[in-house]
Amino acid sequence: MSATAEIKPISPSTAVSQLDQLKKFTRVVADTGDIDSIKEFAPQDATTNPSLILKAAQMPAYQRLMDKAIADGKKSGATGQALLSEIVDDLLVAFGTEILKIVPGRVSTETDASLSFDADALVEKAHKFIALYKANGIPRERILIKIATTWEGIQAAKVLQKEGINCNMTLLFSLAQAVACAEAGAKLISPFVGRILDWYKAKTGKDYAAAEDPGVVSVREIYAYYKKFGHSTEVMGASFRNVGEILELAGCDLLTISPNLLAELKKSTQPVERKLNPETAKNSSIERLKLDEKIFRFQFNENAMATEKTAEGIRVFAADTVKLQQFIAARL
């Protein structure tokens, strides 16, 4: 080509989407129970929760999974409330198994929120999920057990991680929760960006630019702490309200994103800049926290946002589990 030859701009058809740019330095995870959405966006992993499964279970496309879960539950011989609980567990694993046929990585399956303050029961539920997945030919390495980040949930994770059962600590809103999870050896944490923003907007009446978004700031702090002090626990930003929050956390270990926001990222070809980097984080001025149960409980209690949003999240997930059981009962 001559020196005077015109350089043609990249055509829109060959431009790289924001989603594909993001995937270069962050593990993208689909936050949905809708299997068709997962196929569309080709994420590495997927996360589910009772609210998402309730929504998906009511879609005609997934009635076969509901029918199978009911049939499997009945085989247990349980009746009444025990039967409903059995079917819910079978349904969660049925969705997880289908999702793992699509994603190359892992799926997160959530424990019953009503168990959030019972470490022994959480361990038992995790064992049951792992056994159900094993019966479906799924190894434990592809499963993340989601547990609410209460003190009891963290103790359950500590036990499970020692057994080689990986945990995703959810409903996490504070540095104290994050540090306790890392010290317990949790595989992964899911700080809830959007719900933190919701709380601050409700309290202040302010709108926040993405870079100053309180949820973004919280994840940035946790990420810096982990990298500075050498914690191997993975950080997965979750519960996003807008694409701006996602782009401000580009470079985070993982980001779990709803289908509507994945679609926005896929449509845009604007450049994505890496915002979080482990080498930069290691040089941050954050101080180490020393935690035991008493200090954890006090620091958690001192954080009104974290206390309120964790409690609210547990209530909502517990309520949606009840709604899912009622939906199943109507089918029975």
Catalytic residues: 146
Integer-rounded Cα Rg, in Å, for the chain is 21
What is the Cα–Cα distance from 271 to 219, expressed in whole angstroms? 22
Measured from the Cβ of residue 240, the count of other Cβ atoms closer than 10 Å reads: 25
The string of DSSP letters for 72-97 reads HHHHTT--HHHHHHHHHHHHHHHHHH
Q: Is 202 exposed, middle or buried (0-12, 13-18, 19+ CB in 10 A)?
A: exposed
- Give the separation between CA 312 and CA 310, rounded to whole angstroms: 5
Secondary structure element (H or E) that encloses residue 257, with its range: strand 254-257
